[in-house]
Amino acid sequence: MPSQKEIDRRYTNIRARMEREGLDALIVCGNQYAGFEGAVLYMSGFEIVHRYVYVILPLAGEPTLVFPREARWIGDKAKPWVKDQVWPDLPGQWIAERARERNWKRVGVYGMNFVMAVRDYRELANGPFELVPFDFQFDMARAVKSEEELAEVRDAMDIILDGFWALVEAYAPGKTEAEIMAPAVERFFARGAGPRMMNILLSGTHGEAEAFFKVPGPRVVAADDLLLYSLEITGAGGYWVEFSRPLIRGKLSARTQAMADAYPQALEAARKLMRAGELASNVHRAVAETFSKHGFALGHLSGHSIGATMIEHPAIGAKSEVQLEENMIFSLHPQVVDKDGRVCLYTQDTYRIGKTEGESLADVPWKFFTGEETREMATR
């Protein structure tokens, strides 16, 4: 549980952005979908285990947790620091009535595009107030992490690396993709990630990986199969981190090797630019131009801010003209694809923005792992 000082810091930062936008109140949305629950935890201390929840933060006064009535017995309602809690049949209707009672004219919404339940949006859209999208402003207000938050991020990184090394130990041709993944998931859950994880996979045969993600399944792995496990979890504090390294026991294809030759240069160019005062777009440009010189393109954005929500603003992308600040946390995950968009190479690292350069939070070199390595060997 964060300290009262940390809670006050969060509300002060959010309310400063609300006041700048002329908002009377803010609706913070969260649901069970992995990565979309974090804003509610961040604003209230409530851990969503099923369905969805809203936090209502007025510009002045105490916040309220609004649950759908069917979720009354789901989740520990004694855990959050927000003690004003209601369980209406239709949360959107209750929020609209509260807005009318208090004469709110402009109500911000975090999560209106992807998280808010349609039945609630219908009620709110008919209210006598303006609904204002507030995702970017909300994320920018929480983008710079406090020392308390950084401690949670580092704890989550220790957990994800613990799982990664369990995965490396489990990796061997003849096992299924799921069997290789399973020991990592066991470590994640045992150390507090709970359901807050998304562990997916890029894989393929003959030393190449197909350029689409899938759930690790019953396919038996051969020596020349390339496996790119995308590990994405939180620790008990609810802060997301991401990490990935390629695995293969056999031979890489010439195409994959050409992609791999560009990776160290691209990652180091990005890390050096992850500094206070730099534009996020310049970080992306450094990555994209490095791969372009080798004849490859990126499958999507280079990365994004990450915290209590899996994907936060700002992005590391070509149009992200946001100035970086010290102690922002970013996931850098360039997916390099061939000209046909069929074959890829992928990695993930989590970085802290520093004064003069970025800090990688993982002490694992970028290389192809064979399953014979240990954590002690990698950090020597």
Decide if pLDDT at 34 tops 60.
yes
Does the structure show a pLDDT above 80 at 300?
no
What is the per-residue pLDDT across 96-131, written as a single tens digit (0 to 9) for each?
999 999 999 999 999 999 999 999 999 999 989 999
Q: Tell me the C-alpha to C-alpha distance, in Å, between residue 118 and each of 29, 49, 112, 124, 138.
A: 12, 20, 9, 10, 21
Taking only the tens place, the pLDDT of each residue in 268-286 is 999 999 999 999 999 999 9
pLDDT digits (tens, 9 = 90+) for 152-188: 999 999 999 999 999 999 999 999 999 999 999 999 9
pLDDT band at 379 (very low <50, low <70, confident <90, very high): low
The residue type found at 338 is: D
Tokens of 307: 């915290």
Gap between the Cα atoms of 373 and 375, Å rounded: 7
Q: Write down the pLDDT at residue 380.
A: 57
User: Which CATH superfamily, name and number, covers 147-379?
Assistant: Creatinase/methionine aminopeptidase superfamily (3.90.230.10)
For residue 133, pLDDT over 60 is answered with: yes
The CATH topology of domain 4-141 is Creatine Amidinohydrolase; Chain A, domain 1 (3.40.350)
Encode pLDDT of 50-68 as tens digits.
999 999 999 999 999 999 9
**pLDDT at position 119, please?**
97
All structural domains of the chain with their residue ranges: 4-141, 147-379
Residue 88 pLDDT > 60, yes or no?
Answer: yes
Question: Over pLDDT 90: what percentage of the chain?
Answer: 93
Write down the pLDDT at residue 189.
97
Handedness of CA 299, 373, 154, 32 (dihedral sign): positive
Contacts of 377 (CB under 8 A, 6+ apart): none
Q: Tens of pLDDT along 36-53?
A: 999 999 999 999 999 999
Identify any residues that bridge with 107 across adjacent strands, giving them in sequence order.
25, 131
pLDDT digits (tens, 9 = 90+) for 205-243: 999 999 999 999 999 999 999 999 999 999 999 999 999
Q: Which two tokens stand for residue 34?
A: 């992995």
Task: Evaluate if residue 253 carries a pLDDT over 80.
Answer: yes
Average predicted confidence (pLDDT) for the chain? 96
Q: Examine domains 4-141 and 147-379 and report if their fold is the same.
A: no
The confidence score (pLDDT) of residue 65 equals 98
Q: Between these two residues, 307 and 375, which has the higher pLDDT value? A: 307
Compute CA distances 32 → 53, 55, 82, 196, 343, whole Å: 9, 15, 19, 9, 32
Confidence of residue 324 (pLDDT cuts 50, 70, 90): very high
State the pTM of this model.
0.95
Give yes or no for a contact between 264 and 366, defined as CB atoms under 8 angstroms apart.
Answer: yes
